[in-house]
Amino acid sequence: MERELAILMADLTGYTALTDVHGGESAARIVRKYMELVDRALCGRARIIQRVGDQVVIVSDNAEDVAATAIELNELASKEERFLSIHAGIHYGSIFEENDSLFGSTINVASRIMNLADHGQILCSSALVSEINNDARFTFQNFGTHRLKNVMQEIEVFELHCTVPPSARHVDPVCRMLIDPSRGDYVLTIDDKTYHFCSEHCRNLFQDSPGLFNA
């Protein structure tokens, strides 16, 4: 059946780096926790339609429910110690759903928008923003017009701001985990810049070859 739906795609930022540094067991633990947070974040009629690795796909016929879910998931992830931030994309449009599988260009657009997002960022299409109809719970900031891969028309993108500022966290430049600086035991200062790490292992890797990592 084809109908108008809001679709949210959300990934863990830095999941590949974390897996490379800490191995499969740590990656599995992070994903298990992530899926718990996703379940807790669901609002209203929002439902999970797909889970693949560290990516989740959530849909609803109510755009507000999807936007609220994205905000809640982002805030839950930001409060976890030694976890990863999310990045997310939301679009609204026609989707064909069959046997819990989704088809249509709306899915492709949501995926491309997600790929534009950075740490802890939720990006939305103008179609999603229009569907929400100025709901006072949500604040959007223009993120510019973008040409997305395999999408014919340019898409105007907006950033959805969280209702509560996320807890202060630093990003481990090696494994990309979120680190609370007030609780961090592994710190390194190079050229007057201070870096926080999840472990001695990550600190040593960075100290040996800081140029290898995008800090």
What is d(CA 20, CA 5) in angstroms, rounded to the nearest whole number? 36
Residue type, 212: L
Which residues fall within 8 angstroms of residue 40, CB to CB, at 6 or more apart? 72, 76
Residues 149, 192 within the same domain: no
Phi, psi dihedral angles at 18 (to 5 degrees): -60, -45
What is d(CA 83, CA 89) in angstroms, rounded to the nearest whole number? 20
What is the reported pTM? Answer: 0.86
Cα-trace Rg, the chain: 18
Q: At what angle do helices 15-41 and 200-208 cross, to 10 degrees?
A: 140
Residues 149, 180 within the same domain: no
Helix then strand count (H, E) for the chain reads 5, 12
CA dihedral 138, 143, 144, 149 (to 10 degrees): -100
Domain of 107 in residue numbering reads as 2-161
Query: What CATH code is carried by the domain that includes residue 59?
Result: 3.30.70.1230
User: Into how many domains does the chain fold?
Assistant: 2
Residues 134, 69 within the same domain: yes
Residues 135, 191 within the same domain: no
Residues 67, 91 within the same domain: yes
Residues 107, 148 within the same domain: yes
Residue pair 7/95 in contact by the 8 Å Cβ criterion: yes
Residues 120, 182 within the same domain: no
Residues 190, 94 within the same domain: no
What is d(CA 72, CA 86) in angstroms, rounded to the nearest whole number? 11
Residues 146, 100 within the same domain: yes
Residues 113, 16 within the same domain: yes
Report the DSSP beta bridge partners of residue 9: 57, 89
Residue type, 4: E
In the numeric block, the tokens 């974040």 are attached to: 41
Instruction: Specify the 3-state DSSP secondary structure of 5.
Output: strand
Biggest alpha carbon–alpha carbon distance for the chain: 58
Residues 17, 89 within the same domain: yes
Residue pair 110/91 in contact by the 8 Å Cβ criterion: yes
pLDDT tens digits for the chain (215 residues)? Answer: 788 899 999 999 988 888 988 898 988 999 999 999 999 999 999 999 988 888 999 999 999 999 999 999 998 998 888 899 999 999 999 888 777 777 878 888 898 999 999 888 999 999 999 998 777 788 899 998 887 776 667 889 999 986 555 556 788 888 888 888 777 678 888 888 888 888 888 888 988 888 888 65
CA dihedral 112, 114, 117, 122 (to 10 degrees): 140
Residues 127, 194 within the same domain: no
What is d(CA 111, CA 87) in angstroms, rounded to the nearest whole number? 11
